[in-house]
């Protein structure tokens, strides 16, 4: 089953999770509504993640730039202060990704991917997320070398 990756943006002081528990069952995305801007993400760099507390020993940091399909969409952004360039690609859990998984998914420097910039309109979920509809996150743990 193909599941898309959602990359949450980090606010200056805190990040509100996009998966919130409620009534003892998870609510995917919660009762939130987003405005979507379709576009393309170009992978700028992939470098080893040397930080402590990472998901896997073989984690990498992926940096990408987003370009909306319609350049006029930038004028419609709610969060103009959060740029489309230099974004860090991470798992919904907030962690970086295993290098072999990134390679399998084609997340390599210079590669381009369908991407959606999603800005919160209603609710208390992450204010800004980037979704990669063609990236399958269902098997990333299979590529993880545990610390």
Quote the pTM value.
Answer: 0.78
- CA angle 17–91–125, rounded 5-degree value: 20
Question: Comparing 72-76, 88-92, 93-97, which segment has the lowest mean pLDDT?
Answer: 93-97
User: What's the length of the chain?
Assistant: 147
In a 13 Å sphere around the CA of 86, the CA atoms on its Cβ side amount to: 3
Beta bridge partner(s), residue 25: 22
Confidence of residue 100 (pLDDT cuts 50, 70, 90): very high
* Structural tokens at position 116: 């959606």
Is the confidence at residue 15, as pLDDT, over 50?
no
**Mean of the per-residue pLDDT values for the chain?**
81
Is the confidence at residue 29, as pLDDT, over 80?
no
Burial (CB < 10 A; 0-12, 13-18, 19+), residue 122, is exposed
> What residue segments make up the domains of the chain, in order of their start?
5-10+20-143
Beta bridge partner(s), residue 36: 118
pLDDT, residue 50, reads 83
108-121: b (≥16 Cβ within 10 Å) or e: eeeeebebbbbbbe
Beta bridge partner(s), residue 89: 62
């Amino acid at each position: 089953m193909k599941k898309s990756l959602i990359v949450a943006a980090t606010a200056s002081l805190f990040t509100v999770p996009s998966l919130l528990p409620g009534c003892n069952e998870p609510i995917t995305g919660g009762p939130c509504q987003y405005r979507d801007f379709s576009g393309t993400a170009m992978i700028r760099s992939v470098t080893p993640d040397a930080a402590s507390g990472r998901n896997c020993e073989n984690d990498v940091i992926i940096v990408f730039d987003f370009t909306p399909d319609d350049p006029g969409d930038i004028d419609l952004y709610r969060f103009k202060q959060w740029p489309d360039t230099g974004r860090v690609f991470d798992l919904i859990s907030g962690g970086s990704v295993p290098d072999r998984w990134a390679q399998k998914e084609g997340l390599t420097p210079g590669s381009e991917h369908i991407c959606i910039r999603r800005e919160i309109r209603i609710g208390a979920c992450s204010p800004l997320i980037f979704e990669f509809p063609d990236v399958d996150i269902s098997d990333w743990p299979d590529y993880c070398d545990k610390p």
